[in-house]
Amino acid sequence: MSSSGVILKAGILGATGTVGQRFISLLSKHPFFTIHVIGASSRSAGKEYSKVAKWKMTTTLPAEVGDMVIQECKPELFVECDVIFSGLDSDVAGEIETSFLKADLVVFSNAKNHRRDPVVPLIVPTVNPSHFNLIPHQRSLHSLRKGFIVTNANCSTTGLVVALKPLQDAFGPIEAVIVQTMQAISGAGYPGVASLDIFDNVIPFISGEEEKMEYETLKILGDVNETATGFNMLSFTKVSAYCNRVPVIDGHTECVSIKFKNRPPPSVEQVTQALDSYVSESQLIGCYSAPKKSIIVTADQDRPQPRLDRDNGDGYSVTVGRVRECNVLDVKFTLLVHNTILGAAGSGILNAEIALAKGLLKVES
Protein backbone atom coordinates (compact mmCIF):
# COMPACT_ATOMS: atom_id res chain seq x y z
CA MET A 1 0.00 0.00 0.00
CA SER A 2 1.30 3.52 -0.79
CA SER A 3 1.89 6.00 2.04
CA SER A 4 -1.54 7.48 1.29
CA GLY A 5 -3.05 3.99 1.58
CA VAL A 6 -4.06 3.63 -2.08
CA ILE A 7 -3.62 0.60 -4.30
CA LEU A 8 -3.18 1.58 -7.94
CA LYS A 9 -4.52 -0.50 -10.82
CA ALA A 10 -1.84 -1.08 -13.43
CA GLY A 11 -2.22 -2.04 -17.09
CA ILE A 12 0.67 -3.59 -19.01
CA LEU A 13 0.99 -3.18 -22.79
CA GLY A 14 3.28 -5.68 -24.50
CA ALA A 15 2.92 -7.98 -21.50
CA THR A 16 4.21 -11.07 -23.35
CA GLY A 17 7.58 -9.54 -24.34
CA THR A 18 10.93 -9.34 -22.55
CA VAL A 19 10.15 -5.98 -20.93
CA GLY A 20 6.51 -6.92 -20.33
CA GLN A 21 7.57 -10.04 -18.43
CA ARG A 22 9.91 -7.95 -16.30
CA PHE A 23 6.96 -5.63 -15.53
CA ILE A 24 4.90 -8.62 -14.42
CA SER A 25 7.73 -9.97 -12.29
CA LEU A 26 8.34 -6.59 -10.55
CA LEU A 27 4.69 -5.53 -10.21
CA SER A 28 3.46 -8.86 -8.87
CA LYS A 29 5.41 -8.27 -5.66
CA HIS A 30 4.88 -4.51 -5.53
CA PRO A 31 3.06 -3.19 -2.44
CA PHE A 32 0.87 -0.60 -4.16
CA PHE A 33 0.50 -1.49 -7.84
CA THR A 34 -1.77 -4.36 -8.73
CA ILE A 35 -1.85 -5.84 -12.24
CA HIS A 36 -5.37 -5.18 -13.52
CA VAL A 37 -5.24 -5.63 -17.33
CA ILE A 38 -2.59 -7.10 -19.63
CA GLY A 39 -2.38 -6.44 -23.36
CA ALA A 40 -0.42 -7.70 -26.35
CA SER A 41 -0.97 -8.16 -30.11
CA SER A 42 -4.08 -9.65 -31.70
CA ARG A 43 -2.04 -12.87 -32.07
CA SER A 44 -2.15 -13.25 -28.27
CA ALA A 45 -5.39 -11.44 -27.37
CA GLY A 46 -8.27 -13.53 -26.09
CA LYS A 47 -5.93 -16.23 -24.78
CA GLU A 48 -4.78 -17.06 -21.27
CA TYR A 49 -1.37 -15.56 -20.53
CA SER A 50 0.23 -18.87 -19.47
CA LYS A 51 -0.86 -20.47 -22.75
CA VAL A 52 0.85 -17.97 -25.08
CA ALA A 53 3.67 -16.21 -23.24
CA LYS A 54 7.08 -17.88 -23.37
CA TRP A 55 7.98 -17.03 -19.76
CA LYS A 56 11.74 -16.35 -19.61
CA MET A 57 12.14 -14.80 -16.16
CA THR A 58 14.09 -16.78 -13.56
CA THR A 59 11.23 -16.09 -11.11
CA THR A 60 8.02 -18.14 -11.35
CA LEU A 61 5.13 -16.77 -13.39
CA PRO A 62 2.63 -15.49 -10.79
CA ALA A 63 -0.38 -17.82 -10.97
CA GLU A 64 -2.92 -14.97 -10.93
CA VAL A 65 -1.28 -13.44 -14.03
CA GLY A 66 -0.92 -16.81 -15.78
CA ASP A 67 -4.71 -17.16 -15.57
CA MET A 68 -5.46 -13.67 -16.93
CA VAL A 69 -6.83 -13.29 -20.45
CA ILE A 70 -4.71 -11.06 -22.70
CA GLN A 71 -6.53 -8.05 -24.14
CA GLU A 72 -6.07 -6.08 -27.34
CA CYS A 73 -4.12 -2.85 -26.69
CA LYS A 74 -7.18 -0.60 -26.95
CA PRO A 75 -7.66 2.26 -24.45
CA GLU A 76 -11.32 1.44 -23.81
CA LEU A 77 -10.22 -1.91 -22.32
CA PHE A 78 -7.83 -0.15 -19.90
CA VAL A 79 -10.00 2.75 -18.66
CA GLU A 80 -10.08 1.42 -15.10
CA CYS A 81 -6.28 1.56 -14.87
CA ASP A 82 -4.64 4.31 -12.82
CA VAL A 83 -1.38 3.79 -14.67
CA ILE A 84 -0.27 2.05 -17.87
CA PHE A 85 3.18 0.54 -18.31
CA SER A 86 4.16 0.02 -21.94
CA GLY A 87 6.66 -2.56 -23.14
CA LEU A 88 5.33 -2.44 -26.70
CA ASP A 89 7.38 -3.15 -29.77
CA SER A 90 8.46 0.21 -31.20
CA ASP A 91 6.84 -0.65 -34.56
CA VAL A 92 3.46 -0.13 -32.89
CA ALA A 93 4.19 1.75 -29.65
CA GLY A 94 3.91 5.27 -31.14
CA GLU A 95 0.34 5.01 -32.35
CA ILE A 96 -0.98 2.83 -29.52
CA GLU A 97 0.54 4.95 -26.74
CA THR A 98 -0.84 8.13 -28.38
CA SER A 99 -4.33 6.61 -28.39
CA PHE A 100 -3.98 5.87 -24.65
CA LEU A 101 -2.81 9.44 -23.98
CA LYS A 102 -5.77 10.85 -25.92
CA ALA A 103 -8.04 8.70 -23.72
CA ASP A 104 -6.64 10.65 -20.71
CA LEU A 105 -4.63 7.68 -19.41
CA VAL A 106 -1.24 7.85 -17.70
CA VAL A 107 1.42 6.11 -19.79
CA PHE A 108 4.98 5.16 -18.78
CA SER A 109 6.65 4.02 -21.99
CA ASN A 110 9.83 2.05 -22.64
CA ALA A 111 9.72 2.53 -26.38
CA LYS A 112 11.81 5.00 -28.35
CA ASN A 113 8.87 6.55 -30.25
CA HIS A 114 8.02 9.54 -28.02
CA ARG A 115 11.47 10.16 -26.49
CA ARG A 116 12.33 13.07 -28.80
CA ASP A 117 8.94 14.76 -28.49
CA PRO A 118 9.58 18.31 -27.23
CA VAL A 119 6.80 18.02 -24.62
CA VAL A 120 7.45 14.45 -23.46
CA PRO A 121 9.79 14.04 -20.47
CA LEU A 122 12.55 11.44 -20.94
CA ILE A 123 13.18 10.43 -17.35
CA VAL A 124 15.75 8.15 -15.74
CA PRO A 125 14.33 7.98 -12.22
CA THR A 126 17.65 8.19 -10.39
CA VAL A 127 18.77 11.13 -12.57
CA ASN A 128 16.19 13.70 -13.70
CA PRO A 129 12.78 13.47 -11.99
CA SER A 130 12.65 17.30 -12.13
CA HIS A 131 11.55 16.83 -15.77
CA PHE A 132 8.10 15.88 -14.41
CA ASN A 133 7.67 19.68 -14.06
CA LEU A 134 6.65 19.72 -17.72
CA ILE A 135 3.54 17.58 -17.16
CA PRO A 136 1.10 20.49 -16.49
CA HIS A 137 2.10 21.99 -19.85
CA GLN A 138 1.73 18.64 -21.64
CA ARG A 139 -1.71 18.20 -20.10
CA SER A 140 -2.89 21.64 -21.13
CA LEU A 141 -1.54 21.17 -24.67
CA HIS A 142 -3.52 17.93 -25.08
CA SER A 143 -6.52 19.10 -22.99
CA LEU A 144 -6.06 16.27 -20.50
CA ARG A 145 -7.44 16.14 -16.98
CA LYS A 146 -5.29 13.39 -15.49
CA GLY A 147 -3.42 11.67 -18.34
CA PHE A 148 0.16 12.22 -19.45
CA ILE A 149 3.00 10.33 -21.08
CA VAL A 150 6.55 9.95 -19.82
CA THR A 151 9.18 7.76 -21.42
CA ASN A 152 12.20 6.13 -19.87
CA ALA A 153 15.48 6.04 -21.72
CA ASN A 154 17.33 3.60 -23.89
CA CYS A 155 18.93 1.00 -21.62
CA SER A 156 22.57 1.87 -22.44
CA THR A 157 21.88 5.58 -22.10
CA THR A 158 20.33 4.91 -18.69
CA GLY A 159 23.55 3.47 -17.24
CA LEU A 160 25.63 6.24 -18.75
CA VAL A 161 23.60 9.18 -17.43
CA VAL A 162 23.43 7.77 -13.91
CA ALA A 163 27.23 7.95 -13.79
CA LEU A 164 27.49 11.34 -15.53
CA LYS A 165 24.88 13.15 -13.41
CA PRO A 166 26.88 13.41 -10.14
CA LEU A 167 29.99 14.39 -12.08
CA GLN A 168 28.19 17.18 -13.91
CA ASP A 169 26.64 18.35 -10.61
CA ALA A 170 29.98 18.34 -8.79
CA PHE A 171 32.48 19.48 -11.42
CA GLY A 172 30.48 21.44 -14.00
CA PRO A 173 29.96 20.83 -17.71
CA ILE A 174 31.30 17.68 -19.33
CA GLU A 175 32.86 18.52 -22.67
CA ALA A 176 33.32 15.06 -24.19
CA VAL A 177 32.12 11.51 -23.54
CA ILE A 178 33.38 8.46 -25.40
CA VAL A 179 31.48 5.29 -24.51
CA GLN A 180 31.84 1.71 -25.72
CA THR A 181 29.09 -0.74 -24.79
CA MET A 182 28.93 -4.51 -24.40
CA GLN A 183 25.18 -5.14 -24.49
CA ALA A 184 23.27 -8.20 -23.35
CA ILE A 185 21.13 -10.20 -25.76
CA SER A 186 17.95 -9.67 -23.70
CA GLY A 187 18.12 -6.08 -25.01
CA ALA A 188 17.08 -7.40 -28.40
CA GLY A 189 13.83 -8.92 -27.07
CA TYR A 190 12.75 -12.52 -27.70
CA PRO A 191 13.80 -14.49 -29.73
CA GLY A 192 16.13 -11.59 -30.57
CA VAL A 193 19.60 -12.34 -31.92
CA ALA A 194 20.01 -15.81 -33.47
CA SER A 195 22.20 -18.13 -31.38
CA LEU A 196 24.38 -18.82 -34.44
CA ASP A 197 25.11 -15.09 -34.66
CA ILE A 198 25.91 -14.40 -31.00
CA PHE A 199 27.47 -17.61 -29.62
CA ASP A 200 31.32 -17.43 -29.71
CA ASN A 201 30.99 -13.92 -31.14
CA VAL A 202 30.67 -10.13 -30.71
CA ILE A 203 28.50 -8.06 -33.06
CA PRO A 204 29.74 -4.47 -33.43
CA PHE A 205 26.39 -2.99 -34.50
CA ILE A 206 23.00 -2.42 -32.87
CA SER A 207 20.66 -0.54 -35.14
CA GLY A 208 20.00 3.04 -34.00
CA GLU A 209 21.65 2.51 -30.60
CA GLU A 210 24.62 4.85 -30.97
CA GLU A 211 22.38 7.68 -32.19
CA LYS A 212 20.07 7.15 -29.19
CA MET A 213 22.94 7.35 -26.70
CA GLU A 214 24.31 10.46 -28.36
CA TYR A 215 20.93 12.25 -28.35
CA GLU A 216 19.16 11.04 -25.20
CA THR A 217 22.11 11.86 -22.91
CA LEU A 218 21.79 15.53 -23.87
CA LYS A 219 18.05 15.66 -23.19
CA ILE A 220 18.22 13.83 -19.85
CA LEU A 221 21.15 15.85 -18.49
CA GLY A 222 19.60 19.10 -19.69
CA ASP A 223 16.82 20.82 -17.80
CA VAL A 224 13.26 22.06 -18.09
CA ASN A 225 13.11 25.66 -19.35
CA GLU A 226 12.08 28.59 -17.12
CA THR A 227 8.45 28.56 -18.26
CA ALA A 228 8.23 24.74 -17.88
CA THR A 229 7.12 24.45 -21.52
CA GLY A 230 10.14 22.67 -23.01
CA PHE A 231 13.62 21.30 -22.41
CA ASN A 232 17.04 22.90 -22.65
CA MET A 233 19.25 20.16 -24.10
CA LEU A 234 22.92 20.22 -23.11
CA SER A 235 24.59 22.19 -25.88
CA PHE A 236 28.18 21.94 -24.74
CA THR A 237 28.59 18.17 -24.35
CA LYS A 238 29.59 15.88 -27.24
CA VAL A 239 28.93 12.15 -26.92
CA SER A 240 30.46 9.48 -29.16
CA ALA A 241 29.13 5.91 -28.71
CA TYR A 242 30.23 2.51 -30.00
CA CYS A 243 27.59 -0.16 -29.35
CA ASN A 244 28.32 -3.89 -29.38
CA ARG A 245 26.23 -7.01 -28.71
CA VAL A 246 27.94 -9.68 -26.59
CA PRO A 247 26.90 -13.16 -25.42
CA VAL A 248 25.59 -12.11 -21.99
CA ILE A 249 21.95 -12.69 -21.01
CA ASP A 250 21.26 -9.58 -18.87
CA GLY A 251 23.38 -6.51 -18.02
CA HIS A 252 24.97 -3.90 -20.26
CA THR A 253 28.63 -3.08 -19.54
CA GLU A 254 30.04 0.28 -20.71
CA CYS A 255 33.61 1.62 -20.87
CA VAL A 256 33.46 5.40 -20.52
CA SER A 257 36.07 8.18 -20.97
CA ILE A 258 35.18 11.79 -20.17
CA LYS A 259 36.69 15.25 -20.42
CA PHE A 260 35.53 18.13 -18.20
CA LYS A 261 35.27 21.72 -19.37
CA ASN A 262 36.77 23.23 -16.23
CA ARG A 263 40.55 23.11 -15.84
CA PRO A 264 42.21 21.62 -13.91
CA PRO A 265 39.91 18.58 -14.02
CA PRO A 266 38.96 16.74 -10.81
CA SER A 267 41.27 14.01 -9.57
CA VAL A 268 40.42 10.32 -9.73
CA GLU A 269 39.77 10.43 -5.96
CA GLN A 270 37.35 13.37 -6.32
CA VAL A 271 35.50 11.62 -9.16
CA THR A 272 35.28 8.41 -7.13
CA GLN A 273 33.98 10.32 -4.13
CA ALA A 274 31.34 12.16 -6.21
CA LEU A 275 30.09 8.87 -7.68
CA ASP A 276 30.08 7.07 -4.34
CA SER A 277 28.27 9.82 -2.43
CA TYR A 278 25.55 10.46 -5.04
CA VAL A 279 22.01 10.40 -3.66
CA SER A 280 19.14 10.67 -6.14
CA GLU A 281 15.84 12.46 -5.51
CA SER A 282 14.02 9.10 -5.71
CA GLN A 283 16.00 7.97 -2.66
CA LEU A 284 15.40 11.25 -0.81
CA ILE A 285 11.64 11.08 -1.24
CA GLY A 286 11.68 7.46 -0.09
CA CYS A 287 10.34 5.70 -3.18
CA TYR A 288 9.69 2.01 -2.57
CA SER A 289 11.85 0.77 -5.49
CA ALA A 290 14.64 3.33 -5.11
CA PRO A 291 17.95 1.59 -4.45
CA LYS A 292 19.84 2.25 -1.22
CA LYS A 293 22.64 3.50 -3.44
CA SER A 294 22.02 4.74 -6.99
CA ILE A 295 25.70 4.15 -7.75
CA ILE A 296 27.81 1.41 -6.18
CA VAL A 297 31.52 2.02 -6.64
CA THR A 298 33.56 -1.14 -6.53
CA ALA A 299 37.26 -1.11 -5.68
CA ASP A 300 37.86 -4.57 -7.17
CA GLN A 301 40.08 -4.35 -10.24
CA ASP A 302 38.10 -6.95 -12.19
CA ARG A 303 34.58 -5.60 -11.56
CA PRO A 304 31.86 -4.75 -12.52
CA GLN A 305 30.92 -8.00 -14.26
CA PRO A 306 27.40 -8.63 -15.58
CA ARG A 307 26.90 -12.06 -14.00
CA LEU A 308 28.10 -10.88 -10.58
CA ASP A 309 26.89 -7.28 -10.38
CA ARG A 310 23.72 -6.86 -12.46
CA ASP A 311 21.41 -7.53 -9.49
CA ASN A 312 23.05 -4.94 -7.23
CA GLY A 313 20.34 -2.83 -5.61
CA ASP A 314 17.81 -5.35 -6.99
CA GLY A 315 18.78 -4.19 -10.48
CA TYR A 316 18.18 -0.49 -9.73
CA SER A 317 21.81 0.45 -8.91
CA VAL A 318 24.50 1.21 -11.47
CA THR A 319 27.85 -0.36 -10.52
CA VAL A 320 30.98 1.60 -11.40
CA GLY A 321 34.55 0.32 -11.21
CA ARG A 322 38.06 0.86 -12.49
CA VAL A 323 37.94 4.66 -12.06
CA ARG A 324 41.29 5.90 -13.32
CA GLU A 325 43.06 8.58 -15.30
CA CYS A 326 42.58 8.68 -19.06
CA ASN A 327 45.65 9.59 -21.10
CA VAL A 328 43.53 11.12 -23.87
CA LEU A 329 40.54 12.67 -22.04
CA ASP A 330 40.53 13.23 -18.23
CA VAL A 331 39.13 10.18 -16.49
CA LYS A 332 37.77 6.75 -17.44
CA PHE A 333 35.76 3.99 -15.77
CA THR A 334 33.61 0.91 -16.44
CA LEU A 335 29.93 0.73 -15.51
CA LEU A 336 27.21 -1.90 -15.49
CA VAL A 337 23.43 -1.41 -15.69
CA HIS A 338 20.68 -4.06 -15.58
CA ASN A 339 19.12 -3.47 -18.98
CA THR A 340 15.63 -4.80 -18.27
CA ILE A 341 15.34 -3.47 -14.70
CA LEU A 342 16.81 0.07 -14.36
CA GLY A 343 17.28 0.05 -18.17
CA ALA A 344 13.60 -0.69 -18.86
CA ALA A 345 10.69 -1.90 -16.69
CA GLY A 346 12.19 -0.84 -13.36
CA SER A 347 12.61 2.73 -14.59
CA GLY A 348 8.94 2.84 -15.61
CA ILE A 349 7.85 1.61 -12.18
CA LEU A 350 10.17 3.91 -10.22
CA ASN A 351 9.06 6.83 -12.42
CA ALA A 352 5.45 6.02 -11.53
CA GLU A 353 6.35 5.96 -7.81
CA ILE A 354 7.94 9.40 -8.19
CA ALA A 355 4.88 10.71 -10.06
CA LEU A 356 2.67 9.44 -7.22
CA ALA A 357 4.90 11.13 -4.62
CA LYS A 358 4.75 14.37 -6.62
CA GLY A 359 0.93 14.24 -6.65
CA LEU A 360 0.72 13.71 -10.42
CA LEU A 361 -1.36 10.52 -10.31
CA LYS A 362 -5.02 11.26 -9.80
CA VAL A 363 -6.34 7.98 -8.46
CA GLU A 364 -10.05 7.31 -8.97
CA SER A 365 -11.68 5.97 -5.83
Ligand X SMILES: NC(=O)C1=CN([C@@H]2O[C@H](COP(=O)(O)OP(=O)(O)OC[C@H]3O[C@@H](n4cnc5c(N)ncnc54)[C@H](OP(=O)(O)O)[C@@H]3O)[C@@H](O)[C@H]2O)C=CC1
Are residues 214 and 176 in contact, defined by beta-carbon separation less than 8 angstroms? no
Q: Which of 283, 17, 243 is nearest to 129 (CA)?
A: 283
Whole-angstrom Cα distance, residue 286 to residue 292? 10
**Least distance (Å) between residue 210 CB and ligand PHD:** 10
Give the interface segment with ligand X, choosing from 81-89, 127-135, 216-224, 293-301 (CB under 6 A): 81-89
Phi-psi group of 46: left, alpha or beta (phi > 0 → left; psi -120 to 50 → alpha; rest → beta): left
Whole-angstrom Cα distance, residue 5 to residue 304? 39
**Least distance (Å) between residue 275 CB and ligand PHD:** 23
Give the interface segment with ligand PHD, choosing from 181-189, 287-295, 323-331, 345-353 (CB under 6 A): 181-189
In the set 209, 250, 281, 330, which binds ligand PHD (CB under 6 A)? 209
Q: Report 103-142 residues binding ligand PHD (CB under 6 A).
A: 110, 112
Closest to ligand X by CB, 265 vs 313, is: 313
Whole-angstrom Cα distance, residue 340 to residue 337? 9
Closest to ligand PHD by CB, 9 vs 212, is: 212
Residue 44 binds to ligand X (criterion: CB under 6 A): yes
**Least distance (Å) between residue 226 CB and ligand X:** 31
> Residue 160's Cα: distance from chain center in Å?
11
**Least distance (Å) between residue 94 CB and ligand X:** 10
CA pseudo-torsion sign 174, 120, 112, 56: positive
Closest to ligand PHD by CB, 112 vs 322, is: 112
Closest to ligand PHD by CB, 75 vs 187, is: 187
Are residues 208 and 112 in contact, defined by beta-carbon separation less than 8 angstroms? yes
Residue 305 binds to ligand X (criterion: CB under 6 A): no
| DSSP characters over 248-312 | -SS-EEEEEEEEESSSSPPPHHHHHHHHHT---HHHHTT-TT--S-SEEE---TT---HHHHTTG
CA pseudo-torsion sign 164, 170, 172, 176: negative
Q: Residue with CB nearest ligand X?
A: 17
Is 155 marked active-site?
yes
Is 81 marked active-site?
no
Whole-angstrom Cα distance, residue 235 to residue 30? 39
Give the footprint of ligand PHD on this chain (CB under 6 A): 90, 110, 112, 154-155, 183, 187-188, 206, 209, 212, 339
Give the footprint of ligand X on this chain (CB under 6 A): 14-20, 40-41, 43-44, 73, 87-90, 92-93, 110-112, 155, 186-187, 189-190, 339-340, 343-344
The set of catalytic residues is 155, 252
